[in-house]
Amino acid sequence: MFDTIYEWMASLQLEMNLLVTGGTGAGPTKLAAFDAALLNAGVANFNLIGLSSIIPEGAVVREMLPNEKPIPGRWGDRLYVVMAQQRVDTPNAEAWAGIGWAQDKKTGQGMFVEHQGPNEKSVRKDIKATLRALFSARKMKIGRVHMEVHGTVCTAEPVCAIAVAVFEPESWAGNSRS
């Protein structure tokens, strides 16, 4: 028997699945390029709500597969995310964005970090350095570092690169699902 509802909920040990995706896009403006990147990543039709970088205990993080079904939800639903984005409109300039993450092997507690920059090497370097610093500050042992990094080059139109860690979609209060 459980003394509180919180003990009962903890006993269920519900698994939280977090999905990491990303993409690039181009358009006549930086905002249009951003929207094209959101479409490419499969998160364009949601209201994105930014989160800080904490991965809850026991969460499973995985990368979205190339032909995977879209993220479930309806037009305009809330979608909780950690996101990196880089927009450029200078010809020959590069746009790079990446999400990195690591988790404690025993608890699954972990962190996401998001970085953007002018080249892939700097984004990957910043992700690794930041994860090491965050884990060290918390006196946690860092697990394997994972990354999702996307980039593109501006040729004529503005471009955008994004990387997104998706927590979960949620409908708005009173929004009928019928």
More confidently predicted of 21 and 13: 21
Q: How many CB atoms lie within 10 A of CB 21?
A: 22
pTM: 0.86
Domain ranges of the chain: 17-67+74-170
Give the residue-averaged pLDDT of 146-170: 96
Res 5: pLDDT: 42
State yes or no: pLDDT of 85 exceeds 80: yes
Between 107 and 119, residue with greater pLDDT: 119
What's the confidence (pLDDT) of residue 1?
A: 53
CATH placement of domain 17-67+74-170: 3.50.20.10
Judge whether residue 18 has pLDDT over 70. Answer: yes
Q: What was the pLDDT predicted at 143?
A: 86
Confidence grade of residue 67 (pLDDT, cut at 50, 70, 90): confident
Judged against a pLDDT cut of 70, whether residue 111 lies above it is answered with yes
pLDDT tens for each residue of 126-149: 999 999 999 999 999 888 999 999
